[in-house]
Amino acid sequence: MAKKLKPAFTLIEILISVSLLSIVLIGLYGVLDTQRRSVDNIKKNLDRSIDHDRVIMVLYNDILSSDGNITLQKGERDTLCIESTRNSLYELGLAKVCWLVLKEDDTLVRIEGNSYKLPLGLEDNVEIDKVLKGVRVFDITRSKNNVLAVIKEANKEPYSFLLQGIKPPPKPKPKKKPKVKHSKANNKNKTTPSNIKNKIGVF
């Protein structure tokens, strides 16, 4: 009795199956690659957003922790100098902090030290942090006890905050000149019109 042959795949059927499987796998790889790129872009944007928020918080705390002695140099992009703030990134008790935008690459920098003047000299011992690139607007406005800060990077929406109650430090009172007491003896030696007549005679 002859045995029945089991049906088998032909070579053409196997090639067609492999081709279809390859097309499906290529499509899946394209979808997965697109999702991976999307996740990478979201992560980069999230990192930038976190860095941006950190920069804003440092500037906010610099002003909030200051003694109110703030110097502004207005220009295309402002320069802000805080003479004394308790918000130190380098464990200084009280620090002088300046914020400015470099003209070369529009980079916002933060300078922290004890006693220095802008422009910096070789002998100045300061820490300089480059905090944001591509800054198009850095505007600080002060009116009475309020400070308004606006920062805008290229191709991004501007970010701003308002701090209230930042009072300037009281002006030092002028020293009173000590009163000079005149004795009667001193008054006698003073030259008065009557004394002059006595000295030079009557006209």
Residue 81 forms part of a structural domain: yes
Confidence of residue 180 (pLDDT cuts 50, 70, 90): low
Residue 88 forms part of a structural domain: yes
For residue 142, what is the DSSP state? Answer: E
Residue 157 forms part of a structural domain: yes
Residue 170 forms part of a structural domain: no
Q: Which residues does 31 contact at the CB level (< 8 Å), separation at least 6?
A: none
Residue 103 forms part of a structural domain: yes
The whole domain housing 75 covers 48-164
Token pair 């607007």 is found at 137
Residue 141 forms part of a structural domain: yes
The model's pLDDT over 64-92, given as tens digits with 9 standing for 90+, comes to 999 899 999 998 899 999 999 999 999 88
Residue 6 forms part of a structural domain: no
**Total structural domains within the chain:** 1
* Burial (CB count within 10 angstroms: exposed 0-12, middle 13-18, buried 19+), residue 152: middle
Residue 22 forms part of a structural domain: no
**pTM for the complete prediction?**
0.64
Q: Is residue 129's pLDDT more than 50?
A: yes
The model's pLDDT over 95-127, given as tens digits with 9 standing for 90+, comes to 999 999 998 889 999 999 998 999 888 888 999
Which of 108-131 are b and which e, b meaning 16 or more Cβ less than 10 Å from the residue's Cβ? bebbbbeebeeeeeeeeebeeeeb
Contact criterion met (CB below 8 Å) for 86 and 68: no
Neighbour tally for 83: CB within 10 Å: 17
